[in-house]
Amino acid sequence: MPPTPVPATSHPHAHAPGGEPLRLMAVHAHPDDESSKGAATTARYAAEGVEVLVVTCTGGERGDVLNPHYGTVEGGLEGMRAVRRVEMAAAAAALGVRQHWLGFVDSGLPEGDPLPPLPEGCFALVPLEEASAPLVEIVREFRPHVMTTYDPTGGYPHPDHVMCHRVAVEAFAAAGDPERYRGHGEPWTPLKLYYNHGFSLARLRAVHEAILEAGGESPFGDWIESRQAREIPEREVTTHIACSDWFDRRDAALRAHATQIDPEGFFFAVPRAVEVERWPTEEYELAQSRVPTQLPETDLFAGVREALR
Ligand SMILES: [Zn+2]
C-alpha cells in the first residue's frame, strides 16, 4: 500500500502514519488544574498539531479567592462559576487547547477535625456510573488515543481530585465496551492512560537547590520538609515530556486563573532560566496501556503511532 501523504500544513508528528490526527484528552477536576499539571505538555502537543481536549469535571464553584491581589467575587456559587468560566476560556486560549465542562458542582476542600460532611449534590458524592456517563460520552465523541488524569490519591487531598481519578479510570475502561453506557455514543477505546505527576519531591529539590546555589530565596524548603515528614511514597515516573519551550504558555494560562493564582506566589517563584536548565520536562506515570511501549518514554503517543500504522 502506498504511504498516505501527510498534509503539508500540519506538523509531521501530529498524525498517525495513516493520516488520522492524534488526539489527547486531559481530564481535570477544576478550572486551573489543567494549567498547573501537565500544562506545557498539552501546549506542546497542541502546537505540534495534536488535537487536545481538556475536560473539566466541575465548575470550581467552591474555590476560594487565593490571590491576595484579586479582591472579592460576589454572587456565591453562581458568581464564582461565572468568573471561572471566563478565566478558563483565557487559559485554554493561552495553551492552544479546546476545553469541555462536565457540569458537576465543586465539592470544596473540607477542613477541620473532624472533617465536615461534603455538600449535598457535589461531584464527589455522585454515584460513579452517573458521574462517569458524561465523560464516557465525550470520550466516545472526541475519540482520544491518550488520556491523562490524577493518580488514585488525587495527587492532592481534594475529594474532587480523587473523584476525577475514579471517573477517568472508569471511562478509560468502559468507553470501548458496547455493553456499557448504552445510549452514550458509539464505543471508542482509548489506548493509553497516564497519571500527571505535578510537583514531585525530586523536582522540588532540584529547583530549590538551584535557587539557593544562585543565592536566591527559595519558598520550597518548608514544603520539601513537610513532604519528607509525611513519608508519602513517591510515584513512579515512566515518561518525561520535554516542554520548556512552552513554559511561557503554561505561565500565561496560570495567570489567566486570576482568582486562584497569585502572580507573586510559588508558581512563579522559580526563575525561568533556572527551571529550563534544571527541570525542562513534565512527568507522567503510565497507568494503563493497550499498546506495547518501552519504558521510560519521552512521548505520550509512544506505541500509539506504531499501533495506528
Ligand atoms: Zn483542583
Domains for the chain: give ranges and CATH numbers. Answer: 23-198+235-307 (3.40.50.10320), 201-234 (no CATH)
**Comparing C-alpha atoms, which of 85, 121, 115, 111 is closest to residue 100?**
85
**How far apart are the CA of 68 and the centre of ligand 1, in A?**
19
pLDDT of residue 216: 85
Mean pLDDT by 10 residues, the chain (309 residues): 43 70 97 97 98 98 91 93 97 98 96 92 98 98 98 88 98 98 98 91 89 87 84 87 97 96 85 91 97 98 93
**How far apart are the CA of 279 and the centre of ligand 1, in A?**
23
d(CA 2, CA 16): 15
**How far apart are the CA of 164 and the centre of ligand 1, in A?**
9
**How far apart are the CA of 275 and the centre of ligand 1, in A?**
23
**How far apart are the CA of 33 and the centre of ligand 1, in A?**
5
**How far apart are the CA of 110 and the centre of ligand 1, in A?**
13
**How far apart are the CA of 16 and the centre of ligand 1, in A?**
32
**How far apart are the CA of 78 and the centre of ligand 1, in A?**
18
| Residues sharing a CB contact under 8 Å with residue 62, sequence separation 6 or more, in sequence order | 77, 80, 105, 106, 107, 108, 109, 119, 122
pLDDT of residue 11: 60
**How far apart are the CA of 29 and the centre of ligand 1, in A?**
5
**How far apart are the CA of 197 and the centre of ligand 1, in A?**
14
pLDDT of residue 19: 77
pLDDT of residue 225: 87
Detail the residues annotated as belonging to a binding site for Zn(2+): 30, 33, 161
pLDDT of residue 233: 77
Detail the residues annotated as belonging to a binding site: 30, 33, 161
pLDDT of residue 6: 40
Ligand 1 is a single-atom ion; what residues have CB below 5 A from it?
Answer: 29-30, 33
221: number of Cβ within 10 Å: 13
pLDDT of residue 5: 42
d(CA 89, CA 83): 10
**How far apart are the CA of 30 and the centre of ligand 1, in A?**
4
pTM passes above 0.75: yes
Establish how many alpha carbons lie within 13 A of residue 277's alpha carbon, considering only the half-sphere containing its beta carbon.
Answer: 11
> pLDDT for 198-216, tens place per residue?
778 888 899 899 989 988 8
As given in the structure block, the three cell numbers for residue 208 are 530549590
| Residues sharing a CB contact under 8 Å with residue 170, sequence separation 6 or more, in sequence order | 128, 129, 132, 135, 136
**How far apart are the CA of 90 and the centre of ligand 1, in A?**
17
